[in-house]
């Protein structure tokens, strides 16, 4: 049972990274903007947070710097795509490549350092429960912040006027513009907010999940987060479920290795990405559900000038 509790705790820890990034991307896509630069934003956030913590400025300030770095990278994307009209897909890919190259260059000085492991006392009282305590109630505060963010985001999108405006812009920006809503400003704010969450997810990787910096630290998690938004059919609650599912698949490779199962490590490393492909294939078979849930203007440019 102790081994099971540790496995669940590790799956939640790994899933938090994907959940944070996917929640940010969900806001982008609900506003009708698709940003393929999640990997780059997470890398920039991871390096910014790690550099801040390595300089001795504290972990909470490091998380803030990571979020700001991701938001700044997303702001650049917003200016290029929303205001200057560049192609969103090409710009997003360029942002991922830029983030990868920039952090490889700027982070070279930090590769030989290692931060102390971040430990959490957990939730008083609940953390002492057998099995469920070690599994769920001894996590880093960011884990609980992520769950709270999913609830708050669900309320914002489906129970508030501002969320209704955001979704309306994602469905028909022309109609929203005709009603007087500032479509480009709303989309820009959504993109920057999404980038901040991606940066926070990257900070979580470098400060809590790995507590070190190496080139390419995020290791494709940004792309899995992009797929997760489709898997969740653009709903925050399903993002949490999918993130922890993928986190469990990620931890499965370590469990198999720990039990001495003779499987090539490269094949085990493929498991999270193989699961992503399988899930997307299964989801894509139900085209009706995707059409009903997907924002109608997703990926389509908008200009207020005819």
Mean pLDDT lowest among 19-33, 62-76, 113-127, 201-215: 113-127
pLDDT at 152: 97
pLDDT of residue 145: 94
More confident residue, 137 or 184: 184
Query: Residue 121 has what pLDDT?
Result: 60
For the residues 42-69, what does the mean pLDDT come to? 95
Q: What is the pLDDT of residues 141-174, one digit of tens each?
A: 999 999 999 999 999 999 999 999 999 999 999 9
The pTM of this model reads 0.92
| Residue among 37, 45, 51 at smallest CA distance from 98 | 37
More confidently predicted of 265 and 47: 47
- Which whole-number Å values give the CA distances from 25 to 13, 88, 212, 222, in the listed order? 19, 14, 25, 10
Per-residue model confidence (pLDDT) at position 62? 95
Total Cβ atoms within 10 A of residue 128: 12
Is CATH 1.10.3470 what the domain over 2-121+131-293 is classified as, yes or no? yes
pLDDT at 52: 95
Confidence tier at 260 by pLDDT (50, 70, 90): low
Residue with the larger pLDDT of the pair 282 and 177: 177
Q: What percent of the chain has pLDDT over 90?
A: 61
The pLDDT tens digits for 204-256 are 999 999 888 999 999 889 999 998 998 888 999 989 988 998 888 877 776 76
pLDDT at 282 over 80: no
The angle subtended at Cα 140 by Cα 254 and Cα 59, nearest 5°, is: 110
């Amino acid at each position: 049972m102790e081994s099971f509790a540790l496995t669940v705790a590790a799956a939640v820890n790994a899933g938090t990274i994907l959940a944070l990034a996917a929640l940010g991307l969900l806001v982008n896509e609900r506003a009708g903007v698709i940003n393929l630069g999640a990997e780059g934003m997470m890398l920039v956030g991871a390096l910014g947070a790690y550099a801040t913590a390595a300089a001795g400025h504290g972990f909470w300030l490091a998380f803030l710097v990571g979020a700001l770095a991701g938001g700044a990278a997303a702001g650049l994307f917003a200016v290029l795509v929303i205001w200057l009209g560049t192609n969103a897909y090409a710009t997003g890919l360029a942002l991922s490549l830029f983030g990868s190259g920039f952090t490889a260059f700027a982070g070279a000085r930090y590769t030989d350092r290692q931060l102390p492991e971040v430990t959490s006392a957990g939730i008083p009282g609940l953390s002492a429960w057998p099995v469920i305590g070690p599994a769920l109630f001894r996590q880093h505060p960011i884990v609980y912040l992520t769950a709270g963010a999913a609830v708050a985001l669900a309320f914002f999108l489906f129970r508030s006027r501002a969320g209704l405006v955001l979704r309306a812009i994602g469905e028909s920006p022309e109609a929203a513009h005709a009603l007087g809503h500032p479509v480009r400003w709303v989309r820009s704010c959504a993109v920057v907010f999404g980038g901040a969450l991606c940066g926070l997810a990257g900070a979580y990787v470098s400060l809590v999940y790995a507590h070190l910096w190496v080139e390419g630290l995020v290791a494709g998690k940004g792309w899995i987060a992009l797929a997760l938004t489709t898997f969740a059919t653009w709903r925050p609650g399903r993002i949490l479920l999918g993130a922890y599912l993928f986190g469990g698949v990620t931890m499965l490779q370590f469990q198999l290795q720990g039990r001495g199962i003779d499987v090539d490590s490269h094949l085990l490393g493929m498991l999270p990405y193989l699961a992503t492909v399988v899930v997307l294939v299964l989801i894509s078979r139900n085209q009706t559900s995707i059409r009903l849930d997907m924002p109608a203007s997703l990926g389509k440019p908008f200009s207020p000038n005819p």
